[in-house]
Structure formats: structure tokens, C-alpha cells
Amino acid sequence: MYSKSLLSCVVAMALTGCQPDSGTQKPVNQAQVTDTQQIQHQDVRARIEDQTTAFLALQPALATMLDIPEQQAGGPYHHRLPDYSAKGMQAVQQQMRDALTSLQKVDREKLDEATRQHIDIVSVIMAYFAGDKDFSAGYIDTWAGHLPYIINQISGPLIDIPKLMQVQQPVTNAEQADAYLQRLENLEKMTLQVISKFKKDQEQGVFLPAKLIPGTLDYFDRFLAPEPAAHTLVSSFAERLKKVDALADQRQALEARAAEILAQKIYPAYRQARQAVEESASNAPQGDGIWAQPGGSDFYQHALTYLGDTQMSAEQVHQTGLDEVDRISDEMDTILTANGYETGTVGERMVALARESEFLFEDSDEGRQALLDSLNVQIDGIMEIAPSLFATMPSQSVEVRRIPEVSEKGEAGGFYTPPSMDGKRPGIYWINLRDMSAVPSFGLKTLTYHEAVPGHHFQIALNMAQQDIGLMRQNAPFNAFVEGWALYSELVAKEMGMYKDDPFGDLGRLQAELYRAVRLVVDTGLHAKKWTRDQAIDYFHTATGTSMTDVVAEVERYMAWPGQALGYKLGMLKLVELRDLARQELGEDFDIKAFHDLILLAGARPMSIVENDVKNWIAEKQK
């Protein structure tokens, strides 16, 4: 059986997760059972698909990201935007709770094991999108779930929607060009909804933390700085129009209309949003963690459960982080000492190493392009070796791009956006080049293996390719699985020989793993142990030797996304534990390719279900 944690929380949200076993059963005709199971299987899957369509009808931006057929999203969607008002958030939450209740009423005894597991996985996704019913602030993000601050420095509709429109919204014909302009106009209404929700949250006592306000205002200043005609919402639209020959005569008018909408509607709305943030400063809590907000401590427990996918307490997670920091630091010390770096703490020696010119790209357009080119070489190199450990690899391509300058100051060091469902639009590995001294070459291999191959791109692209698990699971946002796999992939890359004769590259890998261990300490420190932002920054920088530019952005990210940073290390630890178990139990019969297929091809799911799958696989192979 599965362990409690996520699944037990889902059961508590609805009616009941399982039907009790009957004491005695009458003999039944097995053929009848099989036929009945098939009918029930089809009915359940059809119900889930209907619920998925209803969900996507409320999430047109997600539909654009996935680029799915209109019928799967309840009709045309490229022109629409989600409703981010308080009423809109409640509608999403209630829809997911109703869908969850409906699934929990299914008679599971008449289902085969695969369908029962399908219900379990989808139920957790629905509970995730239902959010914390006792914390009404924030918004429901279609990847990170329930986040507490609808306006902040790193994410939220006012950052994510423009990014989606610039990069993922198709403009290949007149109809799509018109849809883009309609969505651009609708961005004004959406922005006003966001402002209204931001103020509604303040009525509940939930304010953006004071130390996140400067970075948030900086984002608005960058967004509003260009002349409307030069804004990326216009220039990226213009670039796509150039590729549509049928619109050659209309191109100038369409670009002018986009610039007009931006000047007359979007800029004024964003100025209002900026003003709302500025005005909130006088009432912002001085505490930096979610504990300082009404109901914040309970909300953090919700985050631990759904984003950390763990039954551990915050204190236990904190101690796990401290233990991992000690272990990884010892490994780094060994490599540093062997290469002549003997003086100072590990963090101090890593700071010194990162300043050496041999590891730095030039701080110029040419230097940034040289860095991007080097990442493509790394991807090509690991793709040549990947078949040695992977039986199944994605057919979708992956591209490397720089994070746009307008948002780079508040962004992470790198992230991944998935391909379209049909694979026509590639997956994208984004890297932050705001500070070239923060991206020394010895750390780039590991970032690439995490964000692209065999990390996020392998896992997410393969997940999306599984046609038999349904759209809700094809885009499943299980944080510990997704981020745990990406961190596990960094270790796999070492085992593939990608750091052979490259001690500094391996040092970069360990520094990245240390980074994730430190997250366990810092996230719980901020949100459960009442650490200050400065305390978190000091610990992070001292422990890892990471540049202060990145450390500040990272700590402020954890402040905005309580619990999200826990999934990386907790998920990786579980995957390594399960691989070690399988290797120990199966001995020479252990097949790493088959193990990776087992993990990846069933799609992202709760770690308790992954554990159950691995143990069943071991038992089957031992027969």
C-alpha cells in the first residue's frame, strides 16, 4: 500500500479514499469481472477527461502553453485569460473540490489496479489545485499550486502572462494574430483583477513581505521602461508576424495596434499595480517568512505536504538539510584540497574559485553568446551517451535561451519551459545571464543536466508524450518528483562519465547539490524557525560560496514560494534510496535502463506511489 502523506490528505479533503475490504465474497465469473472492470475503467477515464476539460476552460493560459486542440479546453482559448479575482480563485478551488469529491465516490472494488492508481494520482492533482481551504490569500498557479502572494518579484500573473505571450503564444495566421491582440487587450482587465485580489488579501491581513517590495517595484519599472512600440510584447509579436507572408500588407497596422493597446491600456494598468504594491509597504509585515502572515504556519504545513511531498516535520527537514550540507561539504573539501585549494572554508574557497578568470565568460554580448553556445555543446555531448542509461528518450527538441532582461533580476539561475503537446514547439532551457560573474563555467554542466538533459527535458517531455494517462497527468505538477528527478539527473550525469577528468566540473556538481541541501535549511529556517532574510542570505552564501547576486535572488524566491525549494533534495533522496533498494534486491538482474523507464514512463506522481511501483517491480522480477 502507499504511505500516508499526500494521499491521506486527499482523502481527508473529500469523502473517503478507499472502500473497506469485504469480509467474505461470493465466487464470481472472472470474465464478468473483467468486462465490468473494463466498463468502469472507461467510465472513470471519461469522467476525468470531462473534469480536465472543465479545468482547462478556466485556465486558457495553460491551454496555450500546452497548445492543445480547442475541444480539450472547452473552446477557443488563445484570446482569453484566467480570472484572477477572488471570485475566480474560488471558482477554480471549488471546481477542483467538486471533481475530487466525485472521484472519491467511485466504487473502487470494481476497478483494476491501474485505474485505481489513476484515480489516486489525479485526486492528488485536484487537491493540489484546490489549494489550502483555510488560507484564502494568494492564487492558484498551474505549476506551483497555491502561492501566497499574487504580486511578487519572481512570478504571478503580471510576470507569467506577458512571458507566455512573448514566447509560447502562436501567431501563424490572421486568426491567431487577432487572438493575440484580444488577449493583449484582456491583459488590462486581468491586471485590474490581480490588483483587486492583492487588496482583498490585505483585508485578510496578508501583505507582501516588506523585503520583497523593492524587487517587485523593480520588475514594474523594467516592464514600464521601454516606449510601448519597443516593448517585447510588441516586438515579439512583430517578429512572429514577419514569418506570416499572408499578413504582409497588414503587418504594420497590427504592430501599431499592439503598441496602442500597450500605451493606452496595459501601461496604465501596470502603473496602478505598481502603486498598489508601493502603498502596501506601510503595512507589510517585518517578518520575512510565511509564519508572519495570518494562518501562515498552517499554510507552510500545507506546502510541506504538497510541495515537499513529505511526512517529515519542518524540524526534521531542517536537520536533514544540515546533515546533507556536512556530507557534501566534506566531498567538496576533498576535491578542493586535491587541487591546491586548502585555505578557508569550503564556501570561501568556492568564492575564490569563481573569481578566477579561466572560469568566467566575458561580460558582453559576445561573452553571453559564447556561453549559450557552450551549453548547446554540452547538450549534444550528453545526448550521445544517454542511450547507455536510458532506453526511452524524448522525441521533442530542446533549445537554450537567455532569460529576458525585463525579468532576469528576480528570476532563478535557470528554469525549463515544456514543449507543446504536439512537440512542434520545443522545450526551452532558460539561463539567467544578468551577472556573468555568477555563472562560472565549472557550474554550467550541472545546470544544463538539471534543466535540460537528462533532467527536466527528459522527464517532462516524456511525461507529456504518454497518451494513455490523460491530459491532467501529462502536465502533472508533482514538485518533489519533477525537481527530485532533475537533481537525481545531475548524479546520473556523473555516472555517465560527464565529469571524467574534470574535477572542477564535479566540484560544480557538488556545489549545486549543496545548494539544494542548503535549501532545506533555509526554507524551513525562514518559514518555520523565523529566520530573517539577512540570516538566510548569510548562511546560504557562507555554506555554498555562491555569488551574492544569486543568493539574494534565491532567498527572496523562497520567501515568495514557501516550500517549493524542498522538493529538489527530498525527491532526489527518495529516488536514490529506491534505486539503491532495487540494486541491492536484484543484484545482477538490476537494469538501470528498465529502472529509468519505470520511473519516467508512468509520469510524475506522488513519491509514495513511486515507491510502491518500484517495490512491485522488484517483486515481479524476483519471481
In this predicted model, what pLDDT tens digit does every residue of 342-384 receive, in sequence order?
Answer: 999 999 999 999 999 999 999 999 999 999 999 999 999 999 9
Q: Are residues 560 and 431 in the same domain?
A: yes
Q: What is the 3-state secondary structure (H, E, C) of 588-600?
A: HHCCHHHHHHHHH
Contact 79, 24 (CB under 8 A): no
Output the pLDDT for position 286: 85
- Same domain as 116, residue 143: yes
Q: pLDDT band at 37, cuts 50/70/90?
A: low
Task: Tell me which amino acid residue 541 is.
Answer: H
pLDDT digits (tens, 9 = 90+) for 74-92: 999 999 999 999 999 999 9
Q: Is residue 582 part of a domain?
A: no
The predicted model gives 501-506 an average pLDDT of: 97
CB atoms within 10 A of CB 264: 12
Rounded average pLDDT over 121-141: 98
What pLDDT shows up at residue 23?
A: 37
C-alpha span between 382 and 376 (Å, rounded)? 10
What are the DSSP calls for 403-465, one per residue?
A: PPHHHHTTS-SEEEEPPPTTSSSPEEEEE--S-GGG--GGGHHHHHHHHTTTTHHHHHHHHHH
Evaluated on CA atoms 421, 423, 426, 428, the torsion sign reads positive
Closest CA to 308 of 519, 514, 579: 519
Q: Looking at the predicted structure, is the pLDDT value of residue 432 above 80?
A: yes
Residue 278 lies in a domain: yes
Kindly state whether residues 261 and 386 are assigned to the same domain: no
pLDDT of residue 7: 65
The reply to whether 144 falls in a domain is yes
* Residue 279 within a domain: yes
Q: Which of 274, 63, 60 is nearest to 158 (CA)?
A: 274
C-alpha cell at 40: 468502469
Q: Can you read off the three cell numbers belonging to residue 564?
A: 517549493
pLDDT-based confidence at residue 1 (cuts at 50, 70, 90): very low
Q: Identify the domain containing residue 508 by its residue range.
A: 299-574
Mean pLDDT score, 551-559 = 97
Examine the pLDDT at 578 and tell me if it is beyond 70: yes
Tell whether 143 and 263 lie within a shared domain. yes
Q: Once rounded to an integer, what is the mean pLDDT over residues 20-25? A: 37
pLDDT for the residue numbered 9: 66
| Confidence (pTM) | 0.92
pLDDT at 17: 35
∠ CA 240-244-247, rounded to 5°: 110
Instruction: Tell whether the model's pLDDT for residue 28 goes beyond 50.
Output: no
For residue 478, pLDDT beyond 70: yes
Is the confidence at residue 133, as pLDDT, over 90? Answer: yes
Domain membership flag for residue 560: yes
pLDDT value of position 390:
97
Query: Averaged over 194-208, what is the pLDDT?
Result: 98
Q: Looking at the domain assignment, is residue 94 inside a domain?
A: yes
Rounded to whole angstroms, the Cα distance separating 473 from 463 reads 8
- HEC profile of 245-284: HHHCCCHHHHHHHHHHHHHHHHHHHHHHHHHHHHHHHHHC
Report, as an integer, the average pLDDT of 227-255: 97
Q: Given pLDDT bands bounded at 50, 70 and 90, which one contains residue 34? A: low
Instruction: Examine the domain organization and report whether 498 and 568 are in the same domain.
Output: yes
pLDDT of 127 strictly over 60: yes
What are the two backbone dihedrals, phi and then psi, of residue 353, each rounded to the nearest 5 degrees? -65, -40
Decide the pairing of beta strands 398-402 and 427-431. parallel
The Cα-based distances of 273 to 33, 187, 206, 244, 280 in angstroms read 59, 12, 17, 35, 11
Instruction: Report which DSSP code applies to 146.
Output: E
DSSP letter, residue 71: G
Domain boundary among the residues 284, 315, 343 is at 284
State whether 259 and 348 are in the same domain.
no
Mean pLDDT of 523-543: 98
220 in the same domain as 332: no
Tell me what the mean pLDDT of segment 580-605 comes to: 98
Q: Count how many domains the chain has.
A: 2
CA–CA–CA angle 160, 228, 251 (5° rounding): 95
Which residue shows C-alpha cell 489516486? 120
pLDDT of residue 514: 98
Residues 299-323: what's their mean pLDDT?
97
The confidence band for 25, taking pLDDT boundaries of 50, 70 and 90, is very low
Pair 233, 350 in one domain: no
The residue type found at 73 is: A
pLDDT at 430: 97
pLDDT at residue 181 in the model: 98
Cα gap 300→383, rounded to integer Å:
39
d(CA 456, CA 472): 18
State the burial class of residue 24 (Cβ atoms within 10 Å of its Cβ: 0-12, 13-18, 19+). exposed
Give the per-residue pLDDT at 39.
55
Pairing of strands 427-431, 414-417: antiparallel
Q: Which amino acid is at 49?
A: E
What is the pLDDT averaged over residues 280-297?
Answer: 96
Task: Say if 536 falls within a structural domain.
Answer: yes
277 and 303 in a common domain: no
Do the domain assignments include residue 621?
no
Q: Give me the residues paired with residue 139 across strands.
A: 147
pLDDT digits (tens, 9 = 90+) for 439-449: 999 999 999 99
Asked if residue 313 and residue 276 are part of one domain, the reply reads no
For residues 186 and 46, membership in a common domain is answered with yes
- How much is the mean pLDDT over the chain? 94
d(CA 484, CA 346): 25
354 and 264, same domain (yes or no): no
Helix 296-306 with 314-338: angle, nearest 10 deg: 60
Domain boundary among 249, 284, 319: 284
